[in-house]
Structure 1
């Protein structure tokens, strides 16, 4: 396939892109920083700073698929009103530009895989698992994901199959775990807040395999939860992480610390939802890492 990507320098893409290249696909990246993508991937990835560069080529490229993973890190900074506007625009503007790009193509791509997140469901304190048709609690994360998904869904008007990737906490050598690692290695890790909030996670290997699975299965469309089948509460998550590092886990992080660091965004650490990948499992996808302790052992081995 010829595949156009956004978010090529992101955490997920840095595992996904080598896998796609190994399968023989030809990849193009629309990116704000072609130099950084050149540094990460060299000549293996064709980088453009503007989509019209792809429209104005003498040898016009036909894209079989688009994978849209762009978006500012939702937990990277405190949520001010300006920050929330940036989180929205970094997703909506990019996705809207891709839809306009698809509209201009004579030959449309077959599929658009577009990022979303389990924040679509809002915060839930219930122990009931949330499948793709689960109940929604209104809030900023739901509004962000809802509008993001609605923008991507416009590709259907052009006959494009759309899969919406409602991703949970991705565990890998980097990302969220990299931020947690130092305090835990110093023996200063522990539960966050009450420790009862649900954490819906996925190993980076399964995240990438699920994206490749949806890319290659023409009958798959709509929203898919990209989370392991067994979500865990924060207390179990932090204990398992500490155990994989051979460290104790007895220093809880009080609610006030995330609130000071992230403001309204503290809900990402203090609240949660128990998400279940019902549709992926129904389609026959098999997770390599279903239990949190196995995921941590693999990542720390």
Structure 2
């Protein structure tokens, strides 16, 4: 099969390419990037790297995997940074959707898997959140993801699936990297009340779930890419500390997080008790159902 991937240098895209290539060495990958030289240093040599959509025809691909976007926690959310976060997702997705409409047909649709996040639900307390949940809280993360999804779902001549991703656990970057140091130093603790839920997923299940959607193109619409057993921030913190054989004694008050992160603090102070009902109903089996198993595997590779 032939894959077109935007955001291929990120954690999920790179992991997908490498893990999928191990099982399917004859499959081909083309990655769209803003910096070709940088991408060459990150991606394996068997990947074709381009800088412009005009360099390819979507008639040549079986799957489009759209993962591009400015990292959500890279900088404080100034008005300019918010616009950058939106544009990096919305503009490229719109360009891909338009290109699909021009180059594919009703008789020859393409599999289109596009990124999103559980942030689309906004803050939801302890309510169980499946893909059928529609009582969104209208904060920035919701607006960002909702429009991103709306653009993707407008694709003509495509079977569209949406990845509502939680916190991806990996030994090679992502959210866990930012958490590890204070816990390794014995300075870890829960954030704010610690009651907020943290929907998480191991990177292997993230990749396997994407492959599952590729193998079953009849599955369309949104999918929560989270493990079946989300935990609260307090439980996550205690489990991480135990995995590292360190104490969990130093909670971080909400006002400190607000001071450091501004509005972006909403991402860690609030959460979603999101579960992957659509994937489970479709027959997908998770390798890592429990947080302690996932953290044991990830931390042991650091």
Secondary structure in structure 2 of the residue aligned to 1:43: coil
Structure 2 residues without counterparts, runs of 5 or longer: none
Deviation at 1:257, TM superposition (A): 2.3
CA–CA separation in structure 2 for the residues paired with 1:5 and 1:109? 17
Contact 1:65 1:109 in 2 (8 A): no
1:173-212 equivalence runs, <5 A: 173=171, 174-212=173-211
Indicate yes or no: 2:102 matched with 1:100: no
* 2:235 alignment partner in structure 1: 236
State the 4+ residue runs in structure 1 displaced beyond 3 angstroms.
Answer: 106-109
* C-alpha RMSD of matched pairs (Å): 1.4
Secondary structure in structure 2 of the residue aligned to 1:207: helix
Q: Deviations over 1:13-36 (max 9, x none)?
A: 121111222213200011101112
CA distance 1:140–1:161, change in 2 (3 Å) = same
Deviation at 1:141, TM superposition (A): 0.9
CA–CA separation in structure 1 for the residues paired with 2:44 and 2:198? 36
2:48 alignment partner, one of 46, 49, 53: 46
Deviation at 1:300, TM superposition (A): 1.9
1:257-272 equivalence runs, <5 A: 257-272=256-271
Secondary structure in structure 1 of the residue aligned to 2:65: strand
Contact 1:116 1:164 in 2 (8 A): yes
Secondary structure in structure 2 of the residue aligned to 1:12: helix
2:72 alignment partner, one of 71, 74, 78: 74
Indicate yes or no: 2:155 matched with 1:160: no
Secondary structure in structure 2 of the residue aligned to 1:249: coil
CA–CA separation in structure 2 for the residues paired with 1:165 and 1:31? 20
CA distance 1:189–1:66, change in 2 (3 Å) = same
Deviation at 1:61, TM superposition (A): 6.0
Indicate yes or no: 2:118 matched with 1:150: no
CA distance 1:262–1:285, change in 2 (3 Å) = same
Contact 1:66 1:109 in 2 (8 A): no
Deviation at 1:275, TM superposition (A): 0.3
CA–CA separation in structure 1 for the residues paired with 2:44 and 2:37? 9
Contact 2:66 2:115 in 1 (8 A): yes
Structure 1 residues without counterparts, runs of 5 or longer: none
CA–CA separation in structure 1 for the residues paired with 2:260 and 2:96? 34
Q: Deviations over 1:221-261 (max 9, x none)?
A: 11000000111000000010111111111001111222122
Contact 1:4 1:27 in 2 (8 A): yes
Indicate yes or no: 2:110 matched with 1:110: yes
CA–CA separation in structure 1 for the residues paired with 2:74 and 2:104? 39
Q: Deviations over 1:34-85 (max 9, x none)?
A: 1122112243100110011114xxxx96111100000111112111111111
